[in-house]
Amino acid sequence: MKLYGHPMSTCTRKVLTVLAEKGHEAEFVLVDLMKGEQKSPENLARNPFGVVPTLEDDDFTIYESRAIIRYLDQRLPGTPLTPTELRARGRMEQWISVEQSYLSTPAVTIMLQRLFMPMRGQQTDEEKVKAASAEVARTLDVVDRALASQDYLAGSSYSLADISWMPYLHALAVAKAGELITARPHVAAWWKRLSERPSWVKVAS
Ligand SMILES: N[C@@H](CCC(=O)N[C@@H](CS)C(=O)NCC(=O)O)C(=O)O
């Protein structure tokens, strides 16, 4: 298997976390986002949207991080990351959808504004950070209420839903927006549980 991605990319990190949870090594092929390699003809041939990640499994190529993690969970041996019980599986899908709809975009906006703009010698637009932080806060308020009565998003067991949220929580922490996590007790305890897992320690290092 080959994973085309970038180690700092949130979407690539979801895939790397699933591989680490399954104890499976894929060949990692760097697509250097800093050099714009995602728009190269080679990358566009495997991912027509000109982004990362993309997974190659023999003659099968798949892109879109959330599709890749579902594929890998079924494809690889190891602890299943999808609950078999119908309602728990429904919850897992609900929270993956919430991440995609209401978390990833504002969290990435904060990361781009606070980390990448200064790296490029440009100024952070604090108005954009403020608007994105309000969106993230609304989402985390909802998840904080859910986590008051369960340890993980799907219920009692860790699943693909937790994995899909982790890179964005990490992005908030490194973009000096960690108070969005620490101000919410159940989100803070959940993030501590998730970020101490050996899979995430490996991916984040
Ligand atoms: N929906 C896609 C989003 C992929 C995406 O936006 N990847 C980012 C890195 S996390 C990227 O390649 N950005 C470079 C660009 O947009 O040119 C997925 O989940 O895989």
Position 164 scores a pLDDT of 98
Q: 104 CB under 6 A from ligand 1?
A: no
Tell me: do 165 and 133 sit in the same domain.
yes
Indicate which residue's Cα is closest to atom 1 of ligand 1: 64
State the Cα–Cα distance between residues 174 and 115, nearest whole angstrom.
8
Q: How do residues 58-77 score in pLDDT, each as one tens digit?
A: 999 999 999 999 999 999 99
State the Cα–Cα distance between residues 59 and 76, nearest whole angstrom.
16
Pocket test for ligand 1, best of 6, 52, 116 (most atoms within 8 A of CB): 52
First-to-final CA distance of the chain: 22
Overall domain count for the chain: 2
Please check whether residue 81 lies inside any domain of the structure.
no
Distance from the alpha carbon of residue 52 to the mean position of ligand 1, in angstroms: 5
Tell me: do 96 and 191 sit in the same domain.
yes
| Ligand 1 atom at minimum distance from 68 CA | 20
The residue among 52, 75, 98 that closes a domain is: 75
Position 67 scores a pLDDT of 98
Position 39 scores a pLDDT of 98
Range of the domain at 174: 86-197
Tell me: do 42 and 126 sit in the same domain.
no
State the Cα–Cα distance between residues 179 and 27, nearest whole angstrom.
36
Tell me: do 105 and 155 sit in the same domain.
yes
CATH of the domain at 181: 1.20.1050.10
Position 53 scores a pLDDT of 98
Please check whether residue 202 lies inside any domain of the structure.
no
Determine if the pTM surpasses 0.95. Answer: yes
Tell me: do 101 and 40 sit in the same domain.
no
Token match 């984040």: residue? 204
Position 38 scores a pLDDT of 98
CATH of the domain at 10: 3.40.30.10
Spell out a b/e string for 159-172, using b for 16 or more CB atoms within 10 Å of the CB, else e.
bbbbbbbbbbbbbb
Q: How do residues 161-203 score in pLDDT, each as one tens digit?
A: 999 999 999 999 999 999 999 999 999 999 999 999 999 999 9
Q: 33 CB under 6 A from ligand 1?
A: yes
Mean of pLDDT values over 35-52: 98
Please check whether residue 159 lies inside any domain of the structure.
yes
Q: 65 CB under 6 A from ligand 1?
A: yes
pLDDT more than 90, % of the chain: 98
Q: 64 CB under 6 A from ligand 1?
A: yes
Q: 31 CB under 6 A from ligand 1?
A: no
Tell me: do 101 and 186 sit in the same domain.
yes
Which strand (E) or helix (H) includes residue 62? strand 60-63
The residue among 42, 75, 108 that closes a domain is: 75
Q: How confident is the model at residue 89 (pLDDT cuts 50, 70, 90)?
A: very high
Distance from the alpha carbon of residue 192 to the mean position of ligand 1, in angstroms: 26
Mean of pLDDT values over 78-85: 97
Indicate which residue's Cα is closest to atom 11 of ligand 1: 51
Tell me: do 71 and 99 sit in the same domain.
no
